[in-house]
C-alpha cells in the first residue's frame, strides 16, 4: 500500500508564517519563535524532498528567523537609547501585520477590478485595447519613421539596458547545516569524550558557517539544560560537559 503526501504551496514566506500562526492559534504579538522557526524549516525540507525548487525569499526569511532565534538565546538583550529591552521579534511582527492587512484587502480589490473591466462604459480597458489593436496601421507608422526617431528609441533602449544591468544581484546560499543536526553532533561528541573544548569542535569543520551553527547549537543545549560549560581555556574558548542528570540517565 502506498501513501501520497500532499502539502500546500504558499504564495510567499509571510503567507506561510500566517498559516502557522492561524493554524496553531498563536499570538502574533508574542510569537514562539523557536516553534514557528522549526515549522518553517520543516516545510522547506518537505519541498526539497518533493524536488520542488525553494524560492530564495523563503530561504532569506528562514535565515532571518534563525537570526531572531539566536538573538533570543543570547543572555544579554539589546537595549535602545532609552535603556528599554529591544524584542528581536519586533520587525518580524511589524512585517506580518502589514502583510496580513494587505492580504485582507487583496481579494476585495481583485473583485472590484474584475467588475470594472466587465462594465460596458467608457474606460473599459480591455475593450479599448482590443479596439486599438484592430485599428493600428503598421505600414503608415513605418512611413513616418525618420533617423531622429530611431536614434531616440535606440537611446531609450540603451538607457533601460544600463539601468537593468546595474541593478544589484542578491544570491542566497543554502548551507548544508541545521541547528538540530549540530545539536546531535555535539551531544554525540560529548558522550564520547565526556568533556571537550570549543576549539576541538572547530577542528571538525573550520568553515565559518559551521562554527556559527555549532555555537548556536551549544546555546540551545544550554537552554535545554543538556550540557554545561566552564571557562578555563582562555579567550574565545571553553569546556563543554554533560550535566549530572544526563550522566545518570
Distance of alpha carbon 210 from alpha carbon 246, whole angstroms: 26
Beta strand spans in the chain (E):
195-197, 227-230, 239-242
pTM: 0.42
On whether both 103 and 217 belong to a single domain, the answer is: no
Contact criterion met (CB below 8 Å) for 31 and 92: yes
Distance of alpha carbon 211 from alpha carbon 205, whole angstroms: 7
Contact criterion met (CB below 8 Å) for 239 and 233: yes
Residue with cell 537611446: 155
Is 114 part of a structural domain of the chain? Answer: yes
Nearest residue to 68 via CA among 31, 120, 104: 31
> Looking at 200-204, 214-218, 241-245, which range is the least confident one?
241-245
Is 141 part of a structural domain of the chain? Answer: no
Under the banding of pLDDT at 50, 70 and 90, the label for residue 1 is very low
Distance of alpha carbon 55 from alpha carbon 6, whole angstroms: 19
On whether both 112 and 209 belong to a single domain, the answer is: no
On whether both 9 and 81 belong to a single domain, the answer is: yes
Is 34 part of a structural domain of the chain? Answer: yes
On whether both 213 and 94 belong to a single domain, the answer is: no
Is 166 part of a structural domain of the chain? Answer: no
**pLDDT value at 116 more than 60:** yes
Q: How many domains does the chain have?
A: 2
Q: Which residue has the higher pLDDT, 3 or 76?
A: 76
* Among candidate residues 81, 101, 135, the one where a domain is terminated: 135
Domain that holds residue 126: 1-135
Distance of alpha carbon 215 from alpha carbon 207, whole angstroms: 13
On whether both 128 and 46 belong to a single domain, the answer is: yes
Amino acid at each position: 500500500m502506498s501513501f501520497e503526501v500532499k502539502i500546500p504551496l504558499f504564495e510567499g514566506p509571510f503567507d506561510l508564517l500566517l498559516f502557522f500562526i492561524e493554524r496553531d492559534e498563536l499570538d502574533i504579538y508574542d510569537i514562539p519563535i523557536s516553534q514557528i522557526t522549526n515549522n518553517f524549516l520543516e516545510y522547506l525540507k518537505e519541498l526539497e524532498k518533493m524536488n520542488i525548487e525553494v524560492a530564495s525569499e523563503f530561504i532569506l526569511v528562514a535565515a532571518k528567523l534563525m537570526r531572531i532565534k539566536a538573538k533570543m538565546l543570547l543572555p544579554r538583550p539589546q537595549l535602545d537609547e532609552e535603556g528599554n529591552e529591544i524584542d528581536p521579534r519586533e520587525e518580524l511582527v511589524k512585517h506580518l501585520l502589514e502583510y496580513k492587512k494587505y492580504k485582507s484587502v487583496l481579494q476585495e480589490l481583485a473583485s472590484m477590478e474584475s467588475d470594472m473591466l466587465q462594465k460596458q462604459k467608457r474606460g473599459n480597458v480591455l475593450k479599448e485595447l482590443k479596439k486599438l489593436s484592430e485599428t493600428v496601421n503598421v505600414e503608415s507608422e513605418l512611413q513616418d519613421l525618420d533617423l531622429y526617431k530611431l536614434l531616440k528609441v535606440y537611446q531609450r533602449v540603451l538607457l533601460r539596458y544600463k539601468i537593468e544591468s546595474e541593478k544589484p544581484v542578491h544570491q542566497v546560499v543554502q548551507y548544508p547545516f541545521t541547528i538540530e543536526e549540530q545539536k546531535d553532533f555535539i551531544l554525540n561528541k560529548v558522550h564520547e569524550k565526556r568533556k571537550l573544548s570549543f576549539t576541538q569542535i572547530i577542528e571538525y569543520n573550520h568553515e565559518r558557517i559551521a562554527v556559527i551553527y555549532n555555537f548556536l547549537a551549544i546555546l540551545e543545549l544550554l537552554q535545554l539544560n543538556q550540557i554545561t560549560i566552564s571557562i578555563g581555556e582562555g579567550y574565545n574558548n571553553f569546556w563543554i560537559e554533560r550535566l549530572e542528570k544526563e550522566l545518570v540517565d
